[in-house]
Amino acid sequence: MTGRLLASVPTAGAPTATEATRRFSWSRAREVSANQLFLVPVALVFVVLLVVPLTQTFYWSLTDFSGYSADAKFVGLSNYGKVLTDPSMLAGLGFTLAYTIGTAVLITAFAIPLAVVLNKKFFARNLVRSVFFFPAVPSIAILGLVWGYILSPLGSGVLNSVLDSLFGAGPYPWLSDATLARLSVIVVAVWGGMGWHAVLYLAYLQSIPADYYEVATIDGASARQQFVHITLPLLTPAIVISNFLLMTGGLKVFDLPFTLTKGGPGYSTYTITQSIITSGVAQGRYGLASALAVLFTFAVGLVAVAQLWVSRRIERRVL
């Protein structure tokens, strides 16, 4: 007891508990302030490249600004009303949603089995991995131009020539028929993105301990049961990341449909981003394009937040 009392009495020259706490608080505050200084350049870039353009876009969306003249009259929310009734913009919205959902579902459905196969040991495994990853290397715009020659609706198109020489069939209007054009754009997008996302799944597959599969094999689990009860649940974080990238990338797609079909035939493969660029730059309707950009940004933000919320709930239940 006496020892405790002596220990609680501050010795001469030693800081009291209150002084030590105050010194620690000041030291901690200086450390936090120094760390936050490193965030200043990031905050400035965020404000200059995102906040300022978004504010300007919202302002122009309330005017009839053409983009070529300094005269702009305030028109209120009339641009937003026109956006919701413009047939080309509604067509762009429909195909953008179909493209986003279609590519996300198909790439996920093909990339996971492909990653499981590429994770096994076989001859020339690294070469096969490189072959599947190759479509992700060149620009998607270049892929669109190349596939434009392959899927040409003329009889001289590569695919039509092959079908004619092998089966005497065709020529088929791959890019001049509305339904075939939509399917062609989605199929090319799946072909181009499947390898990259398979590599993402492959990285997660290699982090799963082999002990799990050994124990499951000893217990008599089949390959399908191991995939359903071990592989698929442990791939949940990769599925979440992959689908988040596919959804956000699909909603802002422009390069592949434009280089492959120019948005046609008609508006069958028209996208939201192409509509914004065409209305604002080519047609001089900058105010209308700004209104569409504001609505599109708001919709993408809602989709991203909803997807994150759903993803976290799935991860908590599965993992």
CATH number of the CATH domain containing 215: 1.10.3720.10
Tell me what the mean pLDDT of segment 113-119 comes to: 89
121 within a domain of the structure (yes/no)? yes
Residue range 24-51, pLDDT digits in tens: 677 777 777 777 788 888 889 988 888 8
Q: Find the domain containing 101 and state its range.
A: 93-270
Both tokens of residue 49? 């490249």
Confidence of residue 65 (pLDDT cuts 50, 70, 90): confident
Helix pair 178-205, 125-133: axis angle to 10 deg: 140
pLDDT of residue 106: 94
22 within a domain of the structure (yes/no)? no
50 within a domain of the structure (yes/no)? no
Regarding predicted confidence, which is higher, 129 or 15? 129
45 within a domain of the structure (yes/no)? no
Both tokens of residue 246? 């596919």
Q: Is the pLDDT of residue 89 over 90?
A: no
108 within a domain of the structure (yes/no)? yes
Q: Is the pLDDT of residue 300 over 70?
A: yes
284 within a domain of the structure (yes/no)? no
138 within a domain of the structure (yes/no)? yes
Tell me what the mean pLDDT of segment 233-256 comes to: 87
Residue range 67-85, pLDDT digits in tens: 777 777 888 888 888 888 8
278 within a domain of the structure (yes/no)? no
Tell me what the mean pLDDT of segment 108-132 comes to: 86
User: What would you report as the CA-atom Rg of the chain, rounded to the nearest whole angstrom?
Assistant: 28
Total domain count for the chain? Answer: 1
